[in-house]
Amino acid sequence: MTPGKKLQGLVAATITPMTPDGQINLSVIHQYVDYLVREQNVKNVFVNGTTGEGLSLNIQERKQLAEEWVSQGKDKLDHVIIHVGALSLPESQELARHAAAIGASGIAVIAPFFFKPTNKDELIAFLQEVASEAPAVPFYYYHIPLLTGVKIRVEGLLDGIKERIPTFQGVKFSDMDLLDLAQCINKNKREQFAFLYGVDEQLLSALAIGADGAVGSTYNYLGQKNNLMLQAFAKPDLVLARKYQ
């Protein structure tokens, strides 16, 4: 991994490989890493998130996956971000401590989605309790209101968040509310937070308002195409970028 390098560009939300009898198949992750790097030119991963069905796995399985991705990604991947969110605060804290111990590049947390926080202070309090267990690890909020039902606007969440969570580095923004995303980006230019968009089907729209990159499932197998879109957008050649989108 590359310490201190800003998280940007494409981040593959990794799929959890399974054997036919439902056990985690750790043996193929080294091939998975090589495939992402060599075939898709993707050097960042987001492990145990939605695509990886992290919340359907037990704590031990999540730890094993995190360890294998960090181990196999050494000297090959730029960032291995581990999603450590859980309904149980102690479990989320345990996963955060584990991610720090194995050398993860960062951790991410979704909002609790059964007994939901009703305002930004409650949500930040939960995130703070998790982040504090890994005080040297970059922290990202994973905003996915379609699945969590927590629709607290990220723009408001960012007010003073660095004072509460010193390790806060940015947001995985998996929502179609591009106005909220645009206001986040506009508001925090000086903070240098990373805003990674999480709705693959409209990434180009997010790039147009200033997203730093994207986290998603399709970058596992359409990384090359999406990298070409990023390059076209940067030129800028919007006609070509739209073609790739």
The catalytic residue positions are 142, 172
Q: Dihedrals φ, ψ of 17, to 5°?
A: -70, 140
Three-state DSSP state, 46: strand
Cis peptide before 236 (omega within 30 of 0): yes
Three-state DSSP state, 113: coil
CA 162 to the chain's CA centroid: 18
- Give the torsion through C-alpha atoms of 87, 191, 214, 6, to 10 deg: -100
What DSSP string describes 180-211? HHHHHHHHTTTTT-EEEE--GGGHHHHHHTT-
**Strand locations in the chain, DSSP E?**
9-13, 44-47, 79-83, 106-110, 139-143, 168-173, 194-197, 213-216
- Give the torsion through C-alpha atoms of 107, 111, 113, 118, to 10 deg: 170
For β-strands 9-13 and 79-83, DSSP reports them as unpaired
